Chains A and B, each alone.
Chain A
Amino acid sequence: MRWLRKHILAIIAIAVLVYLFIPIAVIMVLSFNNPAGKFNLSWNEFSTDAWTGLCDVPGVCSSFVQSIEIGLIATIIATVLGTMISFALVRYRFRGRSTTNLLIFLPMATPEVVMGASLLALFLNMKFPLGILTITVAHIMFIISFVVVTVKARLQGMDPRLEEAARDLYADSRAVFRYVTFPLVLPGILGAALLGFSLSFDDFIISYFNAGTLVTFPIFIWGAAQRGIPVQVNALATLVFLIALAIVLGGQFFQFRRRKSLDRPAPLVAAEKVDAFSRS
């Protein structure tokens, strides 16, 4: 009983983590399912057909590729624009700061329905054809804010003394940026890009409003939800999940390994201590 009291928090925490993964498990398991009817909702029999024939169902692979294309373009542009804004916010003085801040952070507080709807209203009023251009434009729009938040935090957390030290050591402004500022902000920029890409790839609502006849992966899934989602979709989603997980875990592991190899081996530590002592 006392063991329970002591560990109740850990138990709850693990339970919540498990809860977060239940639907993931369902998705993965059902990717190996051969459904009885059109709907892949309950387990029928084991089959790897979906995995071996990933592109068998028309529209699955094309929408997947479409989402990746849009994601890449939107992410690159949004990351560049967002990083520029971050630098301006943190390092420069300018007028109209509060309006700028509002404009940047309001998209994060606006429901997607409203953002998607308003963009659609704009395009309709401009009589602009809906398609890949409108979706990409929309994605860039809502990714920028997230990039700014991420990169800005990273910039603000940087010790300003480091840039001063660089200037003290004969680096002019360009060299300071190239050798000190940029390398130190880069992890933040990469993180923001990763975040941006995942937001774009998984976006449904805003895309749906502005896609016209174009089909992205989430739009395909939504359309298929009424008729029955092909098992291939589960397989692809599982694939994306595993790859993303691998990337993130890989990054963590890589950092962990570097930190471990940085611990000095025991004999060296002892030798240093003796040195220090004999010199005092």
Chain B
Amino acid sequence: MTDQPRQVEDLHLRNLTKKFGDYTAVDTLSLTIPAGSFFALLGASGCGKTTTLRMVAGLEDPTDGTISIGDRDITGTRAFERPVNTVFQSYALFPHLDIFENVAFGLRRRKVKDVKPQVERMLELVELGPLARRKPAQLSGGQQQRVAVARALINQPDVLLLDEPLGALDLKLRRQMQIELKRIQTEVGTTFVHVTHDQEEAMTMADTVAVMNSGRIEQMGHPADIYELPRTVFVANFLGQSNLFAGHKSGVTGDEYVVSANGQTFAVPTARCFTDGDSIIVGVRPEKMTVLDAIDIGKIPEHHNRVGGRVTDVSYMGVSTQYLVMTAWDQEIIVFEQNVVVGDRSAVGDDVLIHWSPRHTFGLDGSAGTTVGVDPDVLELEAVNQALASDDSAG
């Protein structure tokens, strides 16, 4: 299956909208997915990503908007007329057909000649050759998944859609499949559109990640770009974790804003700020922070941002240690420290100072509050924990 990467064209979604009665699942979504890229659509359940995928596949009719591949408008075409194939979340393998016939299904419907050698080659590609005559029920989850991929890819679609295909697999197998899929995509050159709620998966596999919320795209870009520089509170909270401090701009020095929040002063590069008004939310990722004992205040580089507090939790996670530090204004800060030096950890109850470089700081529009994008269940638990912790420290 090593023909040179195919000539494919960009996938354009323009003002794509889908309403179910009063409920708007997808809201004027406009997106261009570059040809031959691995594109991830990332979002929580119910954000509209699966609906978008189904519209591209032709399994759902848009209420408004268009879908085109290059110059070809495919909005009105039916699913079986589109050069688009789907790998379904539950695989949807035909239980009454064996693996060979499952993979051959699309070819047969299109009246393609020489089905047998093509199917055999594809099964080799996904390493399922000897199982060709078995039925789906006899295969493991990982094997079924590969059949689903093979069945879709064999038709050489312009766009391959993957609807959370790795969800049912256990961790190690999932990692493996992620690498597999990336390899296949590079080899074959088809545009892959991968829908998932798993951010690690999205960032590992994709060239471009789009974060979706309530039917709209919040931010899109290279995984590293959108992770290091989120532009909305939602992205800051949904993609990885962030510590957010609500405050207002109190001045400018050189290329940095001076922000005052909760009685503290922070420096944020102007290039990393995405808010015009005075109010601003200062954010920093937990792994960018360093924890020092309070007495070591002298060790902090001068231009670094800093915050003091008391350690409330230490979780050793092998690769890193996670600290929870309670500030004077009752905000719980998360810090991930890589365990570079064995044994050098702060303990619960210690007074510490946390510092980080302004280069890692970002500034966001504060109007929606700091908890947008956090799972509501998590929020609830956090509130309970904080209440208990402040009871402890007060009592």
How big is the A interface, by class? 20 to 34
Q: Are A280 and B172 in contact (CB under 8 A)?
A: yes
- Inter-chain CA distance A264–B135, complex, in Å, is 12
Q: Is the CB of A10 closer than 8 A to any CB of chain B?
A: no
Nearest chain-A residue to B176 (Cβ)?
A: A280
Q: Are A169 and B109 in contact (CB under 8 A)?
A: yes
Given contacts A262-B137, A264-B138, whether A164 and B172 have CB atoms under 8 Å apart is no
Q: Are A170 and B106 in contact (CB under 8 A)?
A: yes
Given contacts A170-B110, A171-B80, A171-B109, whether A165 and B88 have CB atoms under 8 Å apart is yes
- Inter-chain CA distance A40–B292, complex, in Å, is 101
Query: Interface with B: A59-67, A120-128, A176-184, A224-232, which one?
Result: A176-184
CB distance from A186 to the nearest CB of B (A): 9
Q: Which residues of A contact B155 (CB under 8 A)?
A: 169-170
- Inter-chain CA distance A142–B392, complex, in Å, is 74
Q: Is the CB of A279 closer than 8 A to any CB of chain B?
A: yes
Q: Are A169 and B138 in contact (CB under 8 A)?
A: no
User: 1/0 per position for B56-71, CB-CB distance to A under 8 A?
Assistant: 0111000000000000
User: 1/0 per position for A155-193, CB-CB distance to B under 8 A?
Assistant: 000010110111111111001000110011000000000
CB distance from B77 to the nearest CB of A (A): 12
Q: Which residues of A contact B152 (CB under 8 A)?
A: 168-169
Q: Are A262 and B135 in contact (CB under 8 A)?
A: yes
Q: Is the CB of B121 closer than 8 A to any CB of chain A?
A: no
Q: Are A279 and B176 in contact (CB under 8 A)?
A: yes
Nearest chain-B residue to A172 (Cβ)?
A: B80
Q: Are B59 and A168 in contact (CB under 8 A)?
A: yes
Q: Are A164 and B92 in contact (CB under 8 A)?
A: yes
User: 1/0 per position for B81-122, CB-CB distance to A under 8 A?
Assistant: 100111010101111100000000110011000000000000
Q: Are A262 and B80 in contact (CB under 8 A)?
A: no
CB distance from A157 to the nearest CB of B (A): 12
- Inter-chain CA distance A46–B88, complex, in Å, is 66
Q: Which of A162, A165, A167, A263 contacts B58 (CB 8 A)?
A: A167
User: 1/0 per position for B132-168, CB-CB distance to A under 8 A?
Assistant: 0011011000100000000110010000000000000
- Inter-chain CA distance A164–B89, complex, in Å, is 12
- Inter-chain CA distance A184–B130, complex, in Å, is 26
Q: Is the CB of B78 closer than 8 A to any CB of chain A?
A: yes
Q: Which of B96, B134, B138, B176 contacts A183 (CB 8 A)?
A: B96
Q: Which residues of A contact B130 (CB under 8 A)?
A: 268
Q: Is the CB of B79 closer than 8 A to any CB of chain A?
A: yes
Given contacts A170-B110, A262-B135, whether A179 and B92 have CB atoms under 8 Å apart is no
CB distance from B92 to the nearest CB of A (A): 4
Q: Which residues of A contact B172 (CB under 8 A)?
A: 280
Q: Are B79 and A168 in contact (CB under 8 A)?
A: yes
- Inter-chain CA distance A165–B79, complex, in Å, is 9
Q: Are B57 and A168 in contact (CB under 8 A)?
A: yes
The winner among A164, A165, A167, A171 for most chain B CB atoms within 10 A is A165
Nearest chain-B residue to A264 (Cβ)?
A: B138
Q: Are A184 and B105 in contact (CB under 8 A)?
A: no
- Inter-chain CA distance A168–B82, complex, in Å, is 8
Given contacts A169-B85, A169-B151, A280-B176, whether A159 and B80 have CB atoms under 8 Å apart is no
Q: Are B90 and A159 in contact (CB under 8 A)?
A: yes
CB distance from A150 to the nearest CB of B (A): 18
The winner among A168, A184, A276, A280 for most chain B CB atoms within 10 A is A168
Q: Which residues of A contact B173 (CB under 8 A)?
A: 276
Q: Which residues of A contact B84 (CB under 8 A)?
A: 168
Q: Which of A161, A179, A262 contacts B105 (CB 8 A)?
A: A179
CB distance from A164 to the nearest CB of B (A): 5
Nearest chain-B residue to A269 (Cβ)?
A: B140
- Inter-chain CA distance A263–B173, complex, in Å, is 21
The winner among B79, B84, B86, B142 for most chain A CB atoms within 10 A is B79
- Inter-chain CA distance A268–B134, complex, in Å, is 14
User: 1/0 per position for A25-64, CB-CB distance to B under 8 A?
Assistant: 0000000000000000000000000000000000000000
The winner among B81, B105, B130 for most chain A CB atoms within 10 A is B105
- Inter-chain CA distance A169–B91, complex, in Å, is 13
Given contacts A167-B78, A171-B109, whether A162 and B92 have CB atoms under 8 Å apart is yes
- Inter-chain CA distance A166–B88, complex, in Å, is 11
Nearest chain-A residue to B138 (Cβ)?
A: A262
CB distance from A140 to the nearest CB of B (A): 30
- Inter-chain CA distance A165–B148, complex, in Å, is 10
Q: Are B94 and A165 in contact (CB under 8 A)?
A: yes
Q: Are B80 and A165 in contact (CB under 8 A)?
A: no
Given contacts A170-B155, A171-B80, A262-B134, whether A165 and B92 have CB atoms under 8 Å apart is yes
CB distance from A162 to the nearest CB of B (A): 5
Q: Which residues of B contact A276 (CB under 8 A)?
A: 142, 173, 176
Nearest chain-B residue to A180 (Cβ)?
A: B94
CB distance from B35 to the nearest CB of A (A): 21
Q: Which residues of A contact B138 (CB under 8 A)?
A: 262-264
- Inter-chain CA distance A269–B103, complex, in Å, is 23
The winner among B110, B138, B142 for most chain A CB atoms within 10 A is B138
- Inter-chain CA distance A180–B109, complex, in Å, is 12
Q: Are A168 and B85 in contact (CB under 8 A)?
A: yes
The winner among B84, B90, B94, B172 for most chain A CB atoms within 10 A is B94
Given contacts A168-B59, A168-B86, A280-B172, whether A161 and B78 have CB atoms under 8 Å apart is no
Instruction: Report the 10 A-B pairs with minimum CB-CB distance, sorted nearest first.
Output: A169-B106, A165-B92, A161-B92, A262-B138, A167-B79, A170-B109, A168-B86, A170-B80, A171-B109, A183-B96
Ordered by A's residue number, 29 sampled pairs between the chains whose C-beta atoms are within 8 Å are A159-B90, A161-B92, A162-B92, A164-B59, A164-B79, A164-B86, A164-B88, A165-B86, A165-B92, A165-B93, A167-B58, A167-B78, A167-B79, A168-B58, A168-B84, A169-B105, A170-B80, A170-B155, A171-B80, A171-B109, A172-B109, A175-B109, A180-B94, A183-B96, A184-B96, A262-B134, A262-B138, A276-B142, A280-B176
Given contacts A170-B109, A171-B109, A180-B94, 15 further A-B contacts (CB under 8 A): A164-B88, A165-B88, A166-B94, A166-B109, A167-B59, A167-B79, A168-B57, A172-B78, A183-B96, A184-B95, A262-B135, A268-B130, A276-B142, A276-B173, A280-B172
